[in-house]
Structure 1
Amino acid sequence: MCRHLAYLGPPVSPAELLVEPPYGLYRQSWAPRMQRHGTVNADGFGLGWYAEGQPHPARYRRAVPIWADENFTDLARVLRTGALLAAVRSATASTTAGEAAAAPYAADGWLFSHNGALTGWPKATGAVAELLEPAELLGLEARCDSALVWALLRRRLRSGQEPARALAGTVREVARCTEARLNLLLTDGKVIAATTWGDTLFHRLELGRSVRVASEPGDDGPGWTPVPDRSVLLATPDAVTVHPLDSALREDPLR
């Protein structure tokens, strides 16, 4: 499956968000509490973050378990950022290994992560691949289901669709072709957008200050709010809105 988290707010160290919480993303790599599919997330990890004055994010990705990378804890301790997206990976069977398959994916100032799977990859998902042009398929960053979903979403974003609508349209587009779990997470450093389709998602809003969106809470403190399945979420430090996924799909020009 995978676990992921996005944050917007005052600059903090990634360690404060990922490592120090008692059930944070770092621990979720070997002991997730709410993961419905798979038991560990040891097939790689990634961190993407935005620096002040830089429109395009930086990334640090590895194909090893997050706990096996001593450099990560040092990086997470000293880096500071007001916007990040991080993920730990549980690879879908038959997908490729390697850093290129680890989220977050990035393009045009966006960071993206997929918590889920396209069932029966790759044989049962040919209809999804047919949605892309040959050049788009050849340009996939990795031979895996998440990279395929990202290519579909990126096409919608480049067409000018707003994040929530683009995510919802991508989920429905894929779900019409194959059985899938599609919790998607997207940020441009200013807004977080996400979908729930087959697994858990939570948000924690400190109004006017910060917001976190995560597969599961990093602690047992107050403020964590579950997002219903088959929903689309849009979040900033000033507000979180959640709507049924179908409501974001009316008159979808790419359906």
Structure 2
Amino acid sequence: MLELKDISFRTPESGAGTQSPADRTIIQDLSFTFEPGSFYAITGPNGSGKTTLAKLIMGINELTSGSIIFNGSDISNLSIHERSNAGIVYGFQHPARFKGTTFRDLLSIAAGSDDEDKLVEIISRVGVCSLDFLDKSVDSKLSGGEIKKIELATVIAKNPKVAIYDEPDTGIDLWTIGPMVELLKREQKDNKTTTIVVSHNKAFLEAADTLLLIREGKIGYSGDLAGALPILEDLSVCTFNELCRGEDNAQCYR
């Protein structure tokens, strides 16, 4: 079980290290419990705090206040490495590329083994059928879809208790999204992985057991997609109100 207890995150607008009235609050007194083995989608307007929330769970950003409890232990002060060893793994929106490093190297580190049979079993789960793919360099020559498969494989190789994916559909074609959703659902069910996906994509929102709508650093809604649709429609790019009468009115856009 992963429990967020009154967590907040503030960042100084001016870059100063001390808290001041000018500090920007990104996550505000947010509490939620992620149940083991469930699939969650986090969505909301740009700048609402979705990715920040994911990074707080992973320890990439440090809490300003509150605590994070994982399997009965307070992990609020643990490093990224310590959280990874505890079973929390993170997939970035824009995966890193490593010149001179092969997929085999990365996957062996993630899996804790260089046994080729084990590596082949992992890559087959993400739809890679060519053994030669293991020896590709993880550099700028890879396509968006290829680098995403590599990152998905390294996440899966860790056999995580909690897998966090920040906008996993970024940089991939529309035909890849369906198989990716199926992959994450399969891993969730087969390995009882608590899966958290930050996304605007309807395919992930439909696949989720629970959808969390983040707005202004708080959970504005928790439930299924059907219940969220009226709220999501209200969060459209253009809101027609007293400030938005003309077609070219810049105030119309959030």
Interval containing the TM-score (normalised by the shorter chain): 0.3 to 0.5
Query: TM-score, normalized by length of structure 1?
Result: 0.33
Higher relative contact order (CA 8 A, sep 6+): 2
Query: TM-score, normalized by length of structure 2?
Result: 0.33
Structure in which a larger fraction of residues adopt strand: 1
